[in-house]
Structure formats: structure tokens, C-alpha cells
Amino acid sequence: MLGVKLAYRNIKEAGLRTWLNVAVLALTFTVMVGFQGLYSGMLAQSSRAMIDDEVAGGQYWHENYDPLDGLSLEESHGKIPEGLTEMAKQKKATPILIRQATIYPAGRMQTAQLKGIEPSQTILNIPSNSLASAEDELPVLIGKRMAKSKNFHIGDYVTIRWRDMHGTFDAVEGKIVHVMNTQVPSIDSGNLWVPLEKLQKMTVMENEATIVVISQDVSEYNSYAGWQFKNQAFLIRDLTEMIKSKRISSSIIFIILLFLGMLAIFDTQVLSIFRRRKEIGTLMALGMTRIQVISLFTIEGMFHGVLALCVALVFGMPLLFLLSAKGIAIPKVTEGYGYALSDRLFPVYSAGLVLGTAILVMIIVTIVSFLPTREIAKLKPTEALKGKIS
């Protein structure tokens, strides 16, 4: 307790020097928590959007389906297993048929994916009910990115050419009936959503699908011959990896900030020991052991960390929690980042994140505070009393 009391008095008297160190450390702590919270929020928000709009509770993939291989798409279709058909009837699953197509926006030939989905499905959070049209023409649902890149508007017609199961080319004029505002680029860019039944007829693939999306309420997954089940974790793994890699790259900022904070404390400690040699000698003459003096100076250094945490909790945390409540407006440019971001990003600050970062900062501050104090162990009391360093 004596060391704590003395250390507190000493750093209080150090005035501006103390507060500069505290400010740098508090900023470091706040930025670290802020960035981590931003990535946690990004991951949570993107994962939620992907799960709601694309992944749901998991997907059964036709055994030939490989989303990374466009050429294999021709062979990636099969009869929907009976068990999955039953689930679809109970609104626990929704089949999707995916076919390669060609469109001609502004007279240019471009590839696209035709995705047939049941208009009445409720498994995925996409406005498929807009496809429930009684008209003869093919209703087409697209995303905002697709609309923007191809300059499509509601009511526009798009020429779609595809090949049926036998390889025969056919074409139709599809009518854009809705432009959906989705955060998930993989169901948006290059995607034309059409009614499943119509696509099955167009491709002569009656009762066939490429994938079957399962409701999030389903917890048991049966095996079906020719179909492979892919769970949520697998389906969002790319996103998780991307966020993880961005989190790692952001740690460079933390390292720089931490380094600045460490440098400030290290410098202060070295300067303290240099300037206060006479005081160190006096403390020894009054009966303090070297370990007590080293502890005193280390505690003084650690107090910077404690004060920084207090300052960060008082000033930084309310700011961060305000940001987490109000969200941060995301510029449009991030649409090209390749993962789902909504217009506002809501950072997530868990107790673990705040506590973990606080512990990390305190450990580093303690080490940096202690290292220069080893000089005291070499100090002879008589030399110290004269103000010399041995």
C-alpha cells in the first residue's frame, strides 16, 4: 500500500508529463477497443446479413455444384430429394436452381446467373414475393449493384439467353419487377432471380434444383444421396477469413500506437530514474530496500496505465458506445470491398474485448515500466545520494 500511495503522489506531482503519457495510452486503448469493436460489428453484421439473405441454416448442394467453377454449373442440378421436398412444403427449406445465362444490356453480351426461387419462400430474406406474377412474361428480381452496373430500372426488359438441359439455346425478354436492397454482393452482382417453376420449365429441369437452402429453425440434417450438406460456418468462412485478415492488418495501427505509448512511459521512467537519483539515495538511506524502490518506480509507471484506463473509460468508452448505438455511416465506396456492409455499421464492444484489451495494455505498461527500473539495482546508495549514476 505504501508503494501505491507514494507512486500516486509522485505521478500526480509530475503533472503534464504524466497526463501526456496518460493521454497517449488512453488514446491507444480507445482506438484498440474501437477498431476491434468495428471489426466485431462488421463480422456480426455481415454474417447476419449473409445468413439472413443467402445462407440461412445451411445448404444442401448438388454433388457437382462448385460455386467457384462456372463451367461445372451445367452439370450441377438434380432431382430434389423427397425429404427436402417435404421440408420445402413445410416451409423449412427452399430449393434454388442455378443456371448460366447471357444477357445483353446496352447491346453488350455479358454472362449472368439465373437463379430460380420459390416466390412464396420465407427462408431467405429476399423479396422473392415480387416474382409472384400472373403475367406470361418472365419477372426478374435483381439487386441494387446489378441494377447500377447494368443501368437496369424497374420495368426495363432484359434479353436473357440460356441453354436447357439438352444444351439447346433459348431466349426470352425478362421484365425487371423489383430492385432489392441487399448487403450481400453474392446474391446481387450478376444475379437474375426468377420464379423457380418458370426456370425449371425453361431449362426442362422439372422438380430439379442446384442447392436447397434450409431454414435456421432446422437443427437436424439428414444425408441425401447426391447432395452434400454445407453448414453455416462453412458457407460464411470466406467472410470470416476476410474479416480476420483485416483485423490482423489493423493490428499494425495498434502496434504503432502501443509503441508510442510504451516509448512515452519508457522515456518517463528513464528520465525519472536519471533525475531522481538523489531521491532514490534518500529513500535507501531512510531504509527502503532496492526491491521496494524498484517496486515504487514500477508502480509509478503502472499508474500511467491505470490512469489511462480510467481516462479511456470516462471519455473514450461513452464515445465508442455512442457509436455502437448510433452506428457509423459507411461510404458507398465500400460496396466494392467484397463483403456485405449495410449503410450503417454498428460496432460491437463485448466485455471480453474491453477487459482483454485493458489487460494487454496493463501487461505491456508493467513490463515497460519495470525494464528501466533495473538500473536502480545497480545504483549504489552513496553514489545516488550525490546525484551520480553508477
Partner 1 sequence: MSIVKIKGLVKRYPIGGQKFTALNDIDLEFKKGEFCGLIGPSGSGKTTLLNIIGALDAPSEGNTVVLDKNIEKLSHKRAAELRNHHIGFIFQTYNLLPVYSVYENVEFPLLLLKMPKEERNKKVLDALEWVGLTDKINSKPAQLSGGQCQRVAVARAVVKRPELILADEPTANLDSENSYNILEMMVRLNKELETTFIFATHDQKVMKYLRRKVHLVDGQVAKDEIINKGAC
Among 197, 250, 290, 337, binds partner 1 (CB under 8 A): 290
Residue number, 5 or 237, with CB nearest to partner 1: 5
Instruction: Write the binding mask 10 to 39 for partner 1: x where contact by CB under 8 A, - elsewhere.
Output: x-xx--------------------------
Residue number, 1 or 351, with CB nearest to partner 1: 1
Among 286, 329, 333, 351, binds partner 1 (CB under 8 A): 286
d(CA 282, CA 303): 22
> 326: which residues sit within 8 A by CB, 6+ positions away?
344
d(CA 108, CA 286): 90
d(CA 143, CA 180): 5
* 361-380 binders of partner 1 (CB under 8 A): 380
Only segment of 43-51, 260-268, 278-286, 339-347 that touches partner 1 (CB under 8 A) = 278-286
Among 285, 310, 319, 363, binds partner 1 (CB under 8 A): 285
Task: Note whether 381 binds partner 1 by CB under 8 A.
Answer: yes
Instruction: Identify whether the C-beta of residue 97 lies closer than 8 Å to the C-beta of residue 208.
Output: yes
Task: Note whether 288 binds partner 1 by CB under 8 A.
Answer: yes
Q: How far is the CB of 284 from partner 1 (least distance, A)?
A: 7
Q: How far is the CB of 11 from partner 1 (least distance, A)?
A: 9
d(CA 155, CA 177): 6
Residue number, 344 or 386, with CB nearest to partner 1: 386
Look up residue 128 and give its three cell numbers. 422473392
> 123: which residues sit within 8 A by CB, 6+ positions away?
56, 91, 92, 93, 94, 213, 214, 215
Look at the block and give the residue holding cell 426461387. Answer: 117
Only segment of 62-70, 147-155, 201-209, 286-294 that touches partner 1 (CB under 8 A) = 286-294
> 278: which residues sit within 8 A by CB, 6+ positions away?
384, 385, 386, 387
Instruction: Identify whether the C-beta of residue 160 lies closer than 8 Å to the C-beta of residue 101.
Output: yes
Q: How far is the CB of 19 from partner 1 (least distance, A)?
A: 16
Which residues here bind partner 1, judged by CB under 8 A? 2, 9-10, 12-13, 278-279, 281-292, 380-382, 385
